[in-house]
Every structure is written in structure tokens, then in C-alpha cells.
Amino acid sequence: MLRKVVDRAKQIRRSERFKYSVATPRRISLHAKQRLNRGIFAIEIKENSGFFSVMQMVLFILMFCEEKCLTPRISARGGLYGDADGKVDWFSAFFEPVHASAALPLTRKLRTSTVRDLVQLGFRQRYEHRLELASASELFFAHYRPAQHIVHEVDAICEKLHIGTSTLGAHFRGTDKALEAIPVAWKDFCRHVETTLAENPHLTDVFISSDEKAFVDYFAAWPFSKPVSVAPARLLANGATPVHFSGFPGLEIGREALVSSLLLSRCGYLVKTPSYLSAWSRIFNPALPVKLVAPPRPDAFWFPDSRLWLEQQAQAQAA
């Protein structure tokens, strides 16, 4: 009985509603401070969560700025993807503003607010249900794009591994993702890939990306009818510990996460389990066909995977 009470208490503390309520005073203070910037919304992110979880925060900030006619000034330091001293703006290291004026220094004092959790902004409740895949892609690329050194790296890997529109991309997210999504057996995932290859004869090869080395080895040994290439990621999960909690250099983890997502976005088709990383491949390439082999759990039914699942269900019903 006591165990059930403790588990319920933990569930409540992890809930969005509880965290939103606790963060109310900080949220009010943040928005009051930002109003003093007269048309600029300056946010520095220091969140200890996944790379593309932070990118979700960026997307919500851009939605708010569009709605309020504000200019975004977004930075990210420390956390899981920055340096230990918090001196490197890792968001600016991986992405560059589309408009050159957004990178220029201001001639007046700018007040920057630091956020460590999405609830401190209060944007998920306001914008989550309004997000669409195509409009989210358009919004992001209206403000930011991957830095040129990242694009060059992705181009070189695509050329080396022959990744293109005839490639079936596959992404399997393991480790702690079982808390947010229905687990998928390795053999079932491989069979989904087999079925997709059979249904799409224009696909000539397979590209696999995963955070679990054991799964990658299992997948590479599966007798697919097409050749398989493996993502050149060096930093993988340590047993059941997710890669971003495995003690690797933050900037390197972030770079590999972004490169992996962009590589998957260059494929002609994507088969995936729930994951922000591969879901953002659809944001980077809104024309990418995607098969999501299992849904996120109801209490983690978040964009972009939520929209991918609903889109897939609607297509199945129409067929």
C-alpha cells in the first residue's frame, strides 16, 4: 500500500500540472522582466533534458514571439550539452539565425531571463494543441537553420553512405524511453522495416540510427533484402543509462544528436519509435514520409510524435 502511495506521489510531482503550478511565481516574474526589453524576447536555456526536448522549448518561444510580434534572442548554456563553466552558447554553436540582424549586438541593455524547465515559460499549455508539422517547420526555418559546419558534416556522411531519397531511414530509441512510449520488441521493429521495404520497391538500402549499440548490432545482423549502413555515432548509451546522462562531453553529444536527426531527414522514408530526435527529422524535412511503429504514452503524448501518430491513424482510416 505504501509503495502505491509513494509511486502516486512521484507521478504527481512529474506531472505537467504540478510543475506548472509550482513555477507560477517564476513565470510571472520572467514575463514582467521581458516586457522591459521593448520588442525583444531574450531567453537563455539551461535545462537538463534531451537535446530535442530543448528544441521543443525553442519552438514554443518562436510561437510566442510570432504571436506577440517580438524578436527572439535565444541562447543555451550549460546543462547537458554545454561546457562545465557555462561559457559556450551551444545553441548558437549548432544553429545560426536566418536574418543577420538577429545576430548583431544591441545598442541598448538587454535583460535575459534564464529558464531551466519548459513550465517556467508556461507555453506548453498555450501552444501544444496548436502545433502542426508543416507550420512548425516553416516557423523554425523562418528564424534559424543548422550551422554551416553541421550541414557540411551531414553532406559528407550522406555522400559516404549513399543516403538519399532511395534510403529507408530507421530510428530506434531505447533506454529510458519506455517511460514515455509503448516499448517495441527488437524483432517487431525489424519486421516493420521489412514490410516497409516490401511496400516501397524504390527503397534500395537501409540506414539505422539508435542510442543502443546492442540493438544496432542486432539490426545489422537481421537478414534484410537490402544493404544496411549504420549511423557513425560514437557516443552511445551505457547499458540502461541514456547517452545524455552517460558523462560524455556535452557539445559532442549535442552535435551527434543533431547530425543523426538531419541524416534521417535526408532519407526517402523513415520508420521509427517515439523519439524527439527522429520526430524532428520531419520538422527538418516536412515532405518526409514517416511510419511511427508505436504511440507515445497518453501522459507523454507530445508534439511532434503526437501529430505523426494522429496523422498516421487518419491515413489508415481513410484507406
Tell me what pLDDT residue 12 has: 43
Tell me what pLDDT residue 137 has: 97
State the pTM of this model.
0.87
Which grid coordinates belong to 230? 549504420
Contact 37, 47 (CB under 8 A): no
Contact 74, 61 (CB under 8 A): yes
Tell me what pLDDT residue 236 has: 55
Digits of tens for pLDDT over the chain (319 positions)? 555 544 444 454 455 566 666 678 888 888 899 999 989 999 999 887 788 989 999 999 999 999 999 999 999 998 788 877 888 999 999 999 998 666 656 667 889 999 988 788 888 888 889 999 999 999 999 999 999 999 999 999 999 999 999 999 999 987 655 667 788 999 999 999 999 999 999 999 999 999 888 899 999 999 999 999 999 877 555 555 555 555 566 788 889 999 999 999 999 999 999 999 999 999 999 999 999 999 998 888 999 999 999 999 999 888 7
- What per-residue string of b and e applies to 168-193 under the rule 16 or more CB within 10 Å gives b? bbbbbbbbebeebbeebeeeebbebb
Tell me the domains of the chain and their CATH numbers. 16-146 (no CATH), 148-318 (3.40.50.11350)
SS3 content of the chain, % helix, strand, coil (to 5): 55, 15, 30
Tell me what pLDDT residue 189 has: 96
- The number of beta carbons lying within 10 Å of the beta carbon of residue 94 is 22
**Amino acid code (one letter) for 93:** A
Contact 191, 293 (CB under 8 A): no
Cβ within 8 Å of residue 83, ≥6 positions away: 90, 250, 251
Tell me what pLDDT residue 170 has: 98
